[in-house]
Amino acid sequence: MQSKLQVKQTTIELIQGDITHQDTDAIVNAANSSLLGGGGVDGAIHNGAGPDLLRETQNLGGCRTGDAKITGGYRLKAKYVIHAVGPIYQRNNDSVPGLLASAYRRSLEVGVANNLTSIAFPSISTGAYGYPVNQAAEIALQTVIEFAQLNVQYALIRFVLFDHPTWQLFCEELSRIAGGGDYQSSDIV
């Protein structure tokens, strides 16, 4: 079982825990397009940040699915929250995988634009939005690994999985990708 991978300058790691406890530069919220809060990760982040977070997000004009917007972190340990909107899973909709990849990629791009060097992701879309974890894990990890191969900005990209089964599925997927030799062995420590 693999829970860590070095890709050039970036350490990609998988932990089981609570995203609101992370002290990375930014934590990513699994938001909805209104950016006005919700349950799951969204509820936990808004509870942890306090009311000033909603005061900021309600002036952002929402966020398209597959996109991401940044705010302050307020009472959270993380200085920033990057609000990413993943897709609602639909079995026969070919655009859904690309929208999930885009939610991760745009979050990373927004972090680069704000000179961040560490970021923590939840498992976007695998809760209320119903995305099968094994399929989402493959998309999430491939997207992040490809980004780390092309951008050396991040020292740390962390996935914070709330429950053990989700953590285990992400680790199995990371082992498969890393073992699959999909990229030069020099990327793997």
Active centre residues (catalytic):
42
Q: What does each C-alpha distance from 160 to 40, 127, 176 come to in angstroms?
A: 13, 14, 19
**# binding residues, ligand APR (CB under 6 A):** 26
> Which of 26, 124 has the CB closer to ligand APR?
124
Structure tokens given for 168: 């285990």
CA dihedral 20, 3, 126, 52 (to 10 degrees): 20
Q: Cβ distance 163 to 170 under 8 Å?
A: no
Sketch the per residue contact string, 154 through 183, with ligand APR: x for CB under 6 A, - otherwise.
------x-xx--x-----------------
Among 123, 144, 159, 170, binds ligand APR (CB under 6 A): 123
CA–CA distance, 5 with 3 (Å, rounded to integer): 7
Q: Which stretch binds ligand APR (CB under 6 A): 91-99, 118-126, 148-156, 172-180?
A: 118-126
Q: Which stretch binds ligand APR (CB under 6 A): 12-20, 62-70, 73-81, 92-100?
A: 12-20
> Which of 111, 122 has the CB closer to ligand APR?
122
Q: Whole-number minimum distance, CB 129 to ligand APR, in Å?
A: 4
Phi and psi at residue 77, to the nearest 5°: -65, -35
